[in-house]
């Protein structure tokens, strides 16, 4: 059986400027979540309850994959999809509810 592969993060989104506009405390929380995520394999991430994965059925990724909303901090959610070993971020939402409006 092959070893489980760790998650690789792709934050090169057209909306990455949102990341740079976060307040220092929010940015620290988001970075801590991203670090934690990077240490996980995919099975562990899917089972992890802290990220609160939610499928966004009305969206499809460019590769046809499902798109998910996930929690990065108390306020910030991300919209992302899996592409091989990469978790590709589409957008970050400091206002939790706006993640569901895309």
Return the biggest CA–CA distance within the chain.
44
Q: What is the pLDDT of residue 39?
A: 94
Structurally, what CATH architecture does the domain formed by 8-100 represent? 2-Layer Sandwich (3.30)
Q: Is 81 in contact with 70 (CB distance < 8 Å)?
A: no
- Please indicate, yes or no, whether the overall pTM of this predicted structure exceeds 0.75: yes
Comparing CA positions, the residue from 71, 65, 81 lying closest to residue 34 is 71
* In the chain, domain spans: 8-100
Backbone angles phi, psi at 64, to 5 degrees: 85, -5
Q: Which tokens is 34 given?
A: 């991203």
List, run by run, the mean pLDDT of 10-residue segments along the chain (102 residues): 76 78 92 94 90 92 93 92 93 70 54
């Amino acid at each position: 059986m092959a070893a489980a592969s760790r998650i690789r993060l792709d934050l090169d989104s057209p909306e990455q400027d949102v990341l740079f506009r976060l307040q220092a405390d929010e940015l620290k929380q988001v970075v801590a979540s991203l670090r934690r995520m990077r240490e996980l394999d995919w099975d562990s991430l899917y089972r992890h309850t802290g990220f609160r994965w939610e499928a966004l059925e009305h969206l499809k990724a460019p590769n046809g994959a499902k798109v998910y909303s996930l929690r990065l901090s108390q306020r910030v959610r991300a919209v992302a999809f899996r592409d091989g070993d990469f978790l590709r971020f589409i957008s970050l939402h400091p206002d939790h509810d706006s993640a569901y409006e895309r």
